[in-house]
Amino acid sequence: MRRRGIRLAGALFLAASPGMVHAAAYQAEVSATEYASIRQGGASAELAANAASSERWASTALDRRHHSGDRTLLMGCDLFSPELSAERSRLERLASSASYEAYVAGERRLAELAGALAASETEAADHESGDLASRLAGAYAADQTARNAYALPPPTGFEDLGEATLQLRMDASCRLDLAHTDLVEQAVENFAALSHASQRQTFNLAMHADHSPALQARAAEAFARLPNGAAAFASLKDRSELNAGRPQMYGRLYGCEGDPLRPDGPEVDLAEVDRRRALIGLPTFMAEAVLACASYRP
């Protein structure tokens, strides 16, 4: 089953979020004269140029993945330029502000929020030293800390900035996902020598490597060689297929909101999905999904 956090860290980036934000974006980068000039046009020209650049960025990322072109479900931090996303958010704040003074005050407060989060939350661990097992453990801990922070309230004094807080935390986890790529590559190359704990940590980190479906596919093959690796293999394989724009093969990634329940992404033939599941010892899609979703609460 797809963990709820996966959609939050993946699909919602493209489908609904205003874009990743950075502390550097929270500052008054325009003078009062420039502010007035941009406001006259509602920042429409600047936003249009930003949207065009962002679309080119995403298209380049999808080409790099050898994506099939199906955009039913798009996940991955490579689909966004942090700078372009931050600029879009800043322009939207500028266009909706009541005055230049209000804009400057708002940017300063957001900068304070970013500083408070940076001071109070662990964003990364030392992944450059120690043996592979130690580095995997550190990366996994950082990954979980970053994602668990999604559910935390904003820092004291910033309770009204919940959306900005979530965006900054998502941005932090995105940087981790990209930074962990080389480590996951090493873990897959040395998979047979890893302990069970390190293998499970590799699974988690590889599932978040949506920017590299090829790496996820290699990780899937590594789990396929384990005696009890069928479920992990199928999850990674499906994740890889989705991130390349193709339908899932085993239907391991799904939400509990649909009626009827269906795998995420492009349409699949459930009979064929169940045939593949049977070959590797998994229950039918519906049997698994109904059981997994029995206690779901939106």
Confidence (pLDDT) at 19: 40
Residue 13 has pLDDT above 50, yes or no: no
Which range is most confident: 37-51, 138-152, 206-220, 251-265? Answer: 206-220
Residue 24 has pLDDT above 70, yes or no: no
Residue 29 has pLDDT above 90, yes or no: no
Question: How high does pLDDT run on average in the chain?
Answer: 87
Please give the radius of gyration of the chain, using alpha carbons only, rounded to the nearest integer.
21
CA distances from 185 to 67, 239, 255 (A): 20, 16, 29
Residue 8 has pLDDT above 50, yes or no: no
Closest CA to 93 of 12, 15, 169, 27: 27
What is the DSSP code (8-state) at residue 151?
Answer: G
- What's the number of CA atoms in the CB half-sphere (13 Å) around residue 250? 25
**Calpha distance 83→35 (Å, rounded):** 20
Helices (H), the chain: 4-9, 11-15, 32-40, 44-65, 82-96, 100-120, 132-148, 162-179, 181-189, 196-207, 213-224, 230-243, 270-279, 285-293
Q: Give me the torsion for CA of 223, 225, 227, 231, rounded to 10°.
A: 30
Residue 15 has pLDDT above 90, yes or no: no
Confidence (pLDDT) at 5: 29
25 three-state secondary structure: helix
With the C-alpha atoms ordered 141, 146, 151, 156, is the resulting torsion angle positive or negative?
positive
**Calpha distance 208→143 (Å, rounded):** 9
Q: Which residues pair with 254 in a beta bridge?
A: 263
Average pLDDT (87-116) is: 92
Average pLDDT (56-67) is: 96
Matching residue, tokens 């989705």: 242
pLDDT of 168-199, one tens digit each? 999 989 999 999 999 999 999 999 999 999 99
Residue 20 has pLDDT above 70, yes or no: no
Residue 17 has pLDDT above 70, yes or no: no
